[in-house]
Amino acid sequence: MSAFVENVKRFLGIGRSGNSDQRGTWGSGFGSLFLAVAVALTIRWCLIEAYVIPSGSMLPSLLIQDHIFVNKFVYGVRIPFSKEWLARFSQPQRGDVIVFKYPEDESTFFIKRVVGIPGDKLSWDGQQLTINGQKIPTSENPKKDFFFSILNDREMAGGKESYDLMEEKLDGNPHPTLVKKDAVHTLVEGQEVPPNSLFVMGDNRDNSNDSRYWGFVPQENILGRAMFVWLSCDETLPAPVNFICSPLAIRWKRLFHSVH
C-alpha cells in the first residue's frame, strides 16, 4: 500500500522541492498517460473494437442492445485512417458475421452475415437460399423454443406467432434465421458476386436492409468479424445517458456469448 501511495505522490509531484523536479514529474506522468492512450487507440485500430447492436436485423443471433467485441485483426491490418491494407491474413467466408461501413453512407456501420463470396451466384425465393445451384440446407430450428424464449414481442412485428424460426447451414455450419410468414419477400435471382465484394443478409430475413436492396459490400469496407457479446440488456438508462445499459435490465445469460 505504501508503494502505491508513493507512486501516486511521485506522479502528482507531491513532497518534492524544486521546480525542475516537479516539471520532470509532470512530464513523466503525461508521458505515461500519452502511452496509455496510444496503446488503447492501437488496440482499437487493429485488434478489437466494441459495437452496440441498434436494431433487430440479426435476430435471433444478436439481440437489440447486445454489446459485442469485433475482431479487426482477423482479415488483416490497414493503414490508419484509410482503406488500404498493410497486410491481408484471410478472406471473409460464408457464414461470417461482419461489421462494415454501409456502402451508401460510410459514416454508418452495419452488421450482417456473409452469404456470398466473389464468384458465387445466389438466389433467394423468400425462404430458400441457393448458392451456385445448390440449395442451402434449411429446416425448422431444433432450438426453436430457446430462441423464442430470449426474444420479446416488441422486437418482432406482429409477435412471435407471425414468424417461422429456421436453421440454415452455410458450408455445414448452422445458424438461426427468422422468416415472417405473411411477408412480401424480396427475391434474388442468379446474382453473381463480383471480385472483392460480398453479398450479405440479416438473419431476420424480412426485417433487414441488406444486399437484396442496395447491392454488394466492397471488401475494403469491412471493419472486422463479430466475436462475442460482452454485455447485453433489455433497457438503457434515460436520456441523456440512454447509451448505457440499465443495471436492472442486464441479460446475464448473454454475457460472453459467442457470435456464430
61, 112, 197, 232: the catalytic one is 112
Q: Could you report the average pLDDT of every consecutive run of 10 residues in the chain (260 residues)? A: 47 42 56 63 70 95 96 90 86 97 96 98 94 96 92 80 94 95 86 97 95 96 96 93 92 94
Q: What is the SS3 assignment for 237?
A: coil
Question: What DSSP string describes 113-160?
Answer: EEEE-TT-EEEE-SS-EEETTEEPPEEE-TTHHHHHHH--GGGSTT-G
Residue type, 195: P
Write down the pLDDT at residue 155.
78
> Considering the entire predicted model, what is its pTM?
0.84
57, 61, 208, 232: the catalytic one is 57
Let me know if 232 is a catalytic residue. Answer: no
How many angstroms separate the CA atoms of 171 and 2, rounded? Answer: 59
How many angstroms separate the CA atoms of 152 and 46, rounded? Answer: 36
Let me know if 72 is a catalytic residue. Answer: no
How many angstroms separate the CA atoms of 76 and 254, rounded? Answer: 28
- Domains of the chain, with CATH numbers? 2-43 (no CATH), 49-258 (2.10.109.10)
